Amino acid sequence: MSHSAPDVIRAKRDGHRLTGDQIDWVIDAYTRDDVAEEQMSALAMAILLRGMDADETARWTAAMVASGETLDLAGVRRPTVDKHSTGGVGDKITLALTPLVAACGAAVPQLSGRGLGHTGGTLDKLESIPGWRAELTADEIRDRLDRVGAVVCAATEGLAPADRKLYALRDVTATVESIPLIAASVMSKKLAEGTRCLVLDVKCGSGAFMKDPERGRELAEALVSIGTANGVNTSALLTAMSTPLGRTVGNALEVTEAVEVLRGAGPPDVAELTVALAREMLDRAGISGVDPAQVLASGEAYEQWCRIIAAQDGDPEAALPRAAHSHVLPAPASGTLASLDAYAVGVAAWRLGAGRTRRQDRVQHAAGVVCRAKPGERVEQGQPLLDLYTDTPEAVSGALEALDGAFTIIDTEVAPSPLILDRVGP
């Protein structure tokens, strides 16, 4: 049966379900440049306004996977399981979680990305380690998984090329917010990487893409549905992202904090979420009888971290970059820190140089923010509340502007907020 872009656009515009053949055709034709950018823009807007049901979304995802190559992990001797976070502020969980789950007996193919805007990227963080490299071939990925137990790297160019094109298009056509398109984008890359099990960390709150927990649950359900429909054992945790995770926001700063967690210290919220996600990943992978909390306390996960970094030519013992300039933001009053807005802190770190505005921009690995107090803690007027770090002192004023109104201090105590909000999955 022959298809045309206007027919597919018209069908979705008028609220009809797209057939499997229509979806397969339009994704393939778009990847080959036979569907024009303006036509795919119109279709993306129609999907944003009209939606796609679970079957359509699963087929759309499978078509994007089929647009390129897939990573064959059949020869890896351990059970494979991956984690994906929808992005947040201070979210260094992958750095501690990957070696922990590998130390528990799984193989973790953690194909990650770079930051854009106020959310940080795992690859940017790891590239603050001298010598470490993100770009690996498919053979190198399989080798590290089999030999070391984990790899954290950039996706190879051939994985889901349709998603790469469509992601860039959605970014400039105000169609990023479509939950079916978000879910298909995330899952096409994860399915293409060949893992058999997957856990999603869907973040909700001011510093997350999903501000509202109900929208977060909708996205989590879509992600789990796609994974299940494509034969991947998938579950999701909904986690809070109204306050930065841990006490650091910025590349080298977050690496240092993740290493502290791997050495049995570090912020309790980072350790809590790391262990919770590790348990979920081990459950998906069918690995029982191993307590990730005990493995973390034993130091085995830190040793695994050193092996993972060294296997990608990094020096785990090397000194990390330090910023040339610092600025202290003091507490304006005494009392209990009631709130610290994750989005504002993320924007401040971004303006200090920790993030990028365009994909081609370079980041400052030493830039960022250290939270000297977290919500629920007592502060005294004049004590350091936030430390700002940058190599460009002129950036401080913009960071301070972002932090105006970012926190509240009250006279009464504050009850702790839950970090894990819900779970979706089998």
Answer whether residue 63 shows pLDDT above 70.
yes
Q: How many angstroms separate the CA atoms of 48 and 235, rounded?
A: 25
Quote the pLDDT of residue 198: 97
Residue 124: active-site member: no
Selected residue with higher pLDDT from 47 and 2: 47
CATH 3.90.1150.10 fits 5-51, yes or no: no
User: Out of 59, 83, 84, 190, which one is annotated catalytic?
Assistant: 84
Quote the pLDDT of residue 139: 93
User: Out of 83, 189, 203, 356, which one is annotated catalytic?
Assistant: 189
Quote the pLDDT of residue 171: 74
**Three-class SS state of 151:** strand
| Of 403, 389, 278, 348, the residue nearest 120 (C-alpha) | 348
pLDDT in tens, 206-227: 999 899 999 999 999 999 999 9
Residue 189: active-site member: yes
Answer whether residue 116 shows pLDDT above 70.
no
Quote the pLDDT of residue 329: 98
Q: How many angstroms separate the CA atoms of 142 and 265, rounded?
A: 32
Q: How many angstroms separate the CA atoms of 218 and 195, rounded?
A: 23
pLDDT in tens, 275-292: 999 999 999 999 999 999
pLDDT in tens, 141-155: 999 999 999 999 988
pLDDT in tens, 377-398: 999 999 999 999 999 999 999 9
Here the tokens at position 280 are 């979920």
Residue 417: active-site member: no
With the C-alpha atoms ordered 13, 19, 22, 25, is the resulting torsion angle positive or negative?
positive
User: What single DSSP character describes residue 119?
Assistant: B
Residue 133: active-site member: no
Answer whether residue 328 shows pLDDT above 70.
yes
Here the tokens at position 111 are 């194909």
CA angle 140, 146, 149 (to 5 degrees): 100
Residue 291: active-site member: no
CATH (one of 3.40.50.970, 3.40.1030.10, 3.40.50.720, 3.30.450.20) for 81-311: 3.40.1030.10
Give the pTM.
0.92
User: Out of 24, 82, 124, 163, which one is annotated catalytic?
Assistant: 163
| Of 166, 201, 194, 159, the residue nearest 180 (C-alpha) | 166
Looking at CATH, the fold of the domain delimited by 325-410 is given as: Aldehyde Oxidoreductase; domain 3 (3.90.1170)
Q: Which of 1-5, 39-43, 64-68, 78-82 has the lowest mean pLDDT?
A: 1-5
Answer whether residue 187 shows pLDDT above 80.
yes
| Of 30, 168, 320, 379, the residue nearest 4 (C-alpha) | 30
Quote the pLDDT of residue 362: 87
Average pLDDT, the chain: 94
pLDDT band at 1 (very low <50, low <70, confident <90, very high): low
Answer whether residue 269 shows pLDDT above 70.
yes
Here the tokens at position 164 are 């790469």
Q: Which of 113-122, 163-172, 323-332, 414-423 has the lowest mean pLDDT?
A: 113-122
Quote the pLDDT of residue 359: 66
Average pLDDT of the residues in 158-172: 86
Instruction: Indicate if 325-410 has the same CATH topology as 81-311.
Output: no
With the C-alpha atoms ordered 129, 130, 135, 137, is the resulting torsion angle positive or negative?
negative
| Of 268, 184, 265, 275, the residue nearest 237 (C-alpha) | 275
User: Out of 83, 114, 118, 170, which one is annotated catalytic?
Assistant: 170
Q: Cβ contacts of residue 273 below 8 Å, gap of 6+? A: 93, 201, 239, 245, 419, 420
pLDDT in tens, 87-111: 899 999 999 999 999 999 999 999 8
Where are the domains positioned within the chain?
5-51, 81-311, 325-410
Q: What percent of the chain has pLDDT over 70?
A: 99
